[in-house]
């Protein structure tokens, strides 16, 4: 049965991939007819039709040859016989060796720590894709690597504006992504780190410390190690943030995608640190560049998915509460101290982690807020968040606020964090 388009059979030779961009006007179905193939590290089940949403860009790669059947329209689809997959899987093999060594070591020594891999490179170099493959290949071998996502611009674990970590126990589903069980999430509230660089660093540190605590009691997670995805901002302050992340997470392997200069700069710096390997990897020719508009749209989709699910399978709840029921805080920024109030020679600076209570008014409309686990306001910066709410109405006269939450009932915490992450529901 056709699905709107025509059925097309594609025969892939060994080590080739079929690169697909699904049409914007409808889903695409695809199945593996014979042989074996994978999408970004996750094997396709034989014969079963899988549905891919409009606009999705992906590749079906085969190590030994496969026949694929496609049903529906695509923006583009073509076969490529030149891919960097062999070099990627070689990295995976080295990481496997290190995991096995870590597992064999006595617990609670440094040797029992598996590889801590950080993937860096410019925007659209395939960082998220490589991260995904390394995690899925490791999960397939039975490891439980920790996925750390420091990319506040896109976010593969939760909504943009956050940094997060989650163990990966199964190869990542090519359509559904990471199951949203209980990820460890810190809400930054902005989609660029330049909004408050110091706060970004503080949150990265909090995330790293929490993971360190979790690892210390869990030999399996320790040996499996982590794979860290980063932002595409690699110049100036962006570069400093990469160094900060490498240090803070005690990365032992730095994978640099498609940037000679970044690679040699990092090699120069980490040489002094001893056992950190900096490895340059080729960018895949299949990586699709996304312009500002496409990225913006992807962010919106991600937020929508948080509340409604990928296929509208979730039913978020709309709640109405009094202004006095919510305590909303903004972190950092705020008015600077006037020069006259400072000692002579001191420069006015805003405290990056200062908390400012937010007065509820219509400026909050369409903002996405983080629900903190903090018990007291002074714990807000160092606390992770339970989830997010979205402000849909503010009634100044009746002093009522309407918000969308993933589920009904009371919020899991009473302190909310606001930045400038907005979303307009479509």
Q: Which two tokens stand for residue 45?
A: 């089940």
Name the residue whose CB lies closest to ligand ADP.
286
For ligand ADP, which stretch binds (CB under 6 A), given 125-133, 236-244, 266-274, 409-417?
125-133
Return the residue of 128, 158, 162, 248 that touches ligand ADP, per CB under 6 A.
Answer: 128
Return the residue of 287, 331, 380, 394 that touches ligand ADP, per CB under 6 A.
Answer: 287
Based on CB atoms, which residue is closest to ligand ADP, 58 or 200?
58
What is the torsional sign of CA 283, 288, 290, 296?
negative
Instruction: Compute the least distance from the CB of residue 68 to ligand ADP, in Å.
Output: 14
Q: What's the rounded Cα separation, in Å, for the pair 381 and 401?
A: 24
128 is in an annotated binding site: yes
Binding mask 173-212 for ligand ADP (x = CB under 6 A): ----------------------------------------
Based on CB atoms, which residue is closest to ligand ADP, 127 or 222?
127
123 belongs to the binding site for ligand ADP (CB under 6 A): yes
224 is in an annotated binding site: no
Interface with ligand ADP: number of residues (CB under 6 A):
18
Q: What's the rounded Cα separation, in Å, for the pair 299 and 161?
A: 9
> By CB neighbour count within 10 A (0-12 exposed, 13-18 middle, 19+ buried), where does 388 fall?
buried
Binding mask 27-66 for ligand ADP (x = CB under 6 A): ------------------------------xxx-------
Nearest partner of 185 among 169, 200, 163, 167, judged by Cα? 163
CA 80-84-85 angle, to 5 degrees, is 90
Return the residue of 29, 92, 99, 127 that touches ligand ADP, per CB under 6 A.
Answer: 127
413 belongs to the binding site for ligand ADP (CB under 6 A): no
Binding mask 218-257 for ligand ADP (x = CB under 6 A): --------------x-------------------------
73 belongs to the binding site for ligand ADP (CB under 6 A): no
Residue 415, SS3? strand
DSSP lists the bridge partners of residue 46 as 32
CB 300 within 8 A of CB 423: yes
Q: What's the rounded Cα separation, in Å, for the pair 118 and 57?
A: 23
DSSP lists the bridge partners of residue 120 as 256
> By CB neighbour count within 10 A (0-12 exposed, 13-18 middle, 19+ buried), where does 20 fall?
buried
Left (φ > 0), alpha (ψ -120 to 50) or beta: where does 404 sit?
beta
247 is in an annotated binding site: no
Q: What's the rounded Cα separation, in Å, for the pair 313 and 89?
A: 35
Start-to-end CA span in the chain (Å): 32
CB 227 within 8 A of CB 131: yes
149 is in an annotated binding site: no
Sheet holding 74-80, edge to edge: 42-43, 38-39, 57-62, 16-22, 74-80
238 is in an annotated binding site: no
57 is in an annotated binding site: yes
Q: Which two tokens stand for residue 36?
A: 């074996």
For ligand ADP, which stretch binds (CB under 6 A), given 90-98, 240-248, 281-289, 299-307?
281-289
124 is in an annotated binding site: yes
277 belongs to the binding site for ligand ADP (CB under 6 A): no
For ligand ADP, which stretch binds (CB under 6 A), given 8-16, 118-126, 308-316, 347-355?
118-126
Return the residue of 162, 284, 372, 384 that touches ligand ADP, per CB under 6 A.
Answer: 284
Sequence ranges of the binding site: 17, 57, 124-129
Residues that bind ligand ADP (CB under 6 A): 17, 19, 57-59, 121, 123-129, 232, 284, 286-288
């Amino acid at each position: 049965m056709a699905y709107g388009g025509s059925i097309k059979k594609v025969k892939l030779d060994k080590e080739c991939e079929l690169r697909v961009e699904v049409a914007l006007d409808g889903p695409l179905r695809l199945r593996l007819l014979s042989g074996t193939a994978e999408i970004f590290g996750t094997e396709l089940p034989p014969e079963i039709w899988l549905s891919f949403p409009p606009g999705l860009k992906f590749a079906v790669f085969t190590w030994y040859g496969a026949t694929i059947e496609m049903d529906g329209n695509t923006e583009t689809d073509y076969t490529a016989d030149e891919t960097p997959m062999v070099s990627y899987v070689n990295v995976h093999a080295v990481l496997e060796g290190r995991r096995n060594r870590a597992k064999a070591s006595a617990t609670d020594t440094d040797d029992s720590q598996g590889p801590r891999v950080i993937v860096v490179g410019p925007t659209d170099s395939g960082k998220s894709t490589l991260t995904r493959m390394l995690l899925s290949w490791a999960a397939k071998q039975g490891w439980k690597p920790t996925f750390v996502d420091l990319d506040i611009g896109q976010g593969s674990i939760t909504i943009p504006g956050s940094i997060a970590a989650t163990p990966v126990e199964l190869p990542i589903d090519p359509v559904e992504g990471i199951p949203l069980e209980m990820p460890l999430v810190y809400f930054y509230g902005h989609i660029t780190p330049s909004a408050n660089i110091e706060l970004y660093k503080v949150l990265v540190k909090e995330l790293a410390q929490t993971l360190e605590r979790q690892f210390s009691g869990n030999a399996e997670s320790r040996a499996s190690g982590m794979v860290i995805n980063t932002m595409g901002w690699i110049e100036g302050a962006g570069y400093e943030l990469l160094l900060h992340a490498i240090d803070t997470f005690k990365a032992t392997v730095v994978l640099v995608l498609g940037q000679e200069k970044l690679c040699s700069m990092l090699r120069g710096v980490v040489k002094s640190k001893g056992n950190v390997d900096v490895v340059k990897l080729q960018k895949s020719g299949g990586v699709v560049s996304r312009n500002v508009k496409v990225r913006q749209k992807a962010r919106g989709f991600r937020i929508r998915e948080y509340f409604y699910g990928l296929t509208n399978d979730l039913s978020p709840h709309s709640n109405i509460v009094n202004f006095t029921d919510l305590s909303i805080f903004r972190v950092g920024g705020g008015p600077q101290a006037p020069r006259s109030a400072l000692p002579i020679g001191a420069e006015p600076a805003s405290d990056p982690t200062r908390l400012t209570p937010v007065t509820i008014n219509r400026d909050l409309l369409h903002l996405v807020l983080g629900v903190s686990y903090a018990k007291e306001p002074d714990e807000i910066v160092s606390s992770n968040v339970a989830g997010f709410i979205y402000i849909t109405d503010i009634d100044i006269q009746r002093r009522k606020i309407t918000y969308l939450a993933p589920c009904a009932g009371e919020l899991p915490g009473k302190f909310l964090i606001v930045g400038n992450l907005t979303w307009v529901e479509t």
